[in-house]
Structure 1
Amino acid sequence: MIEAIIFDFGDVFINLDKQAIDTEFRKLGLTAWHEDLDALNKKYELGKIDELEFMSGFQKHLPDADLISIRSAWNSILGDFPLYRLEFLQMISSKYRLFLLSNTDHTHIEKFEHKEGQTFARDFYSCFEKVYFSYEIKLRKPEEDAFKYVINNHNLNPKKTLFIDDKKENTEVAEKLGLQVWNLEVGKEDVVDLFSKKFSF
């Protein structure tokens, strides 16, 4: 029987528009995603650098773009957060121990809270026993330590814990650690379909 559920955030609750971020950065002159930008992103998601350092790192590749434009382009990936998903969470929050584990950064979370409003964000966060953002805990998926951090902090039994994420590399590591997993297919499945899946609730 599943007692606890650990959810991802992006493309599980909030929709991500990956085409938009690509389009917006191309407008600023970025023709390709460089390896050093990937490394920069990971450092920011791990809370190792602040927002100014992150945006300035981007600016090296976009000398004609100002920091505000870069920030706007970076946030363009954030789509809508359908209300029915929040209502689904609220419905199950009294029945299961719920946790959020997201690879994200301060900029995106600030934008989400501003875009959806503080009341919506507060209602969302209150559904969880604990919310874990990578930039705050200095750990990110698919590192085993990120999963162990949540499991150990709350004495979770992996066999009775379900992990839901849209990225295969994340669910593979979680499964290796003994958790039950749902690798959600974006566009084909929705988190609210959870109880139609073959898990023992």
Structure 2
Amino acid sequence: MINAIIFDFGDVFINLEKEAVTKAFKELGLKEWSQDLDELNSKFEIGKISEIQFIEGFQKHLPNASVDEIRKAWNAVLGDFPLYRLEFLQNLKGKYRLFLLSNTDAIHIEKFEHKVGISFARDFYQCFEKVYFSFEVGMRKPTEDIFKFVIQKQGLQPNKTLFIDDRKDNTDTAEKLGMVVWNLNPNEEDVVDLFDKKF
């Protein structure tokens, strides 16, 4: 019997426009996404570098792009957050222990809060006992560390905890640690269909 649910954020609640961010950087003159940029993103997502160091890392590849242009291109990935998903979450509150566990960074969270408005963001955050953002805890999925950290911190029983994420590498780690998982396909499924699933 599930008594706790840990949700991912991107492509579970907020829709992600991955092609839009690629297009935006291409328009700024980025020829290809390099390993260097992957490493930069990883460091930023675990809070190892500051926002300005992250942007300066991009400027090495895009010397003519301004700070604002890079920030805007980076935020192009953030799509809409349908109200019905928030309402679904609000209806779950009190029935299960709810947590948010997201690989994200300070730029995206600031933009999300600005985009949806402070009252929407507050209503969203208030659905959870605790929100875990990778840039704040210094760890990111799919490493086991971040899952173990949340399980231990919250006293969760893995076999009674459902983890929902759109990335298979993340759900694979959670499953390995004994959690019940739903590897949600955002092109075909919606988090609000949770109870159509048999967990």
Q: TM-score, normalised by structure 2?
A: 0.99
Residue aligned with 2:162, SS: strand
What code does the residue aligned with 1:20 have? A
1:52-78: CA deviations, max 9, x gaps?
A: 000000000001111110000000000
Q: Within 5 Å, give how 1:84-95 maps onto structure 2.
A: 84-95=84-95
Q: Within 5 Å, give how 1:1-201 maps onto structure 2.
A: 1-199=1-199
1:95-137: CA deviations, max 9, x gaps?
A: 0000000000000000000000000000000000000000000
Structure 2 residues not aligned, in runs of 5+: none
- Identical amino acids, percent of aligned pairs: 68
Distance in 2 of aligned mates of 1:20 and 1:198: 34
What code does the residue aligned with 2:121 have? A
Runs of 4+ in 1 over 4 A off after TM superposition: none
Structure 1 residues not aligned, in runs of 5+: none
Distance in 2 of aligned mates of 1:97 and 1:43: 30
What code does the residue aligned with 2:125 have? Y
What code does the residue aligned with 2:41 have? N
- May I ask how many residue pairs the two structures share in their alignment? 199
Q: Following TM superposition, by how much is the alpha carbon of 1:167 offset from its aligned partner in structure 2, in angstroms? A: 0.2
Distance in 2 of aligned mates of 1:67 and 1:122: 28
Distance in 1 of aligned mates of 2:28 and 2:194: 40
What code does the residue aligned with 1:82 have? P
Residue aligned with 1:115, SS: helix
1:148-189: CA deviations, max 9, x gaps?
A: 111000100000000000000000000000000000001100
Distance in 1 of aligned mates of 2:22 and 2:108: 16
Distance in 1 of aligned mates of 2:47 and 2:77: 20
CA RMSD in angstroms comes to 0.4
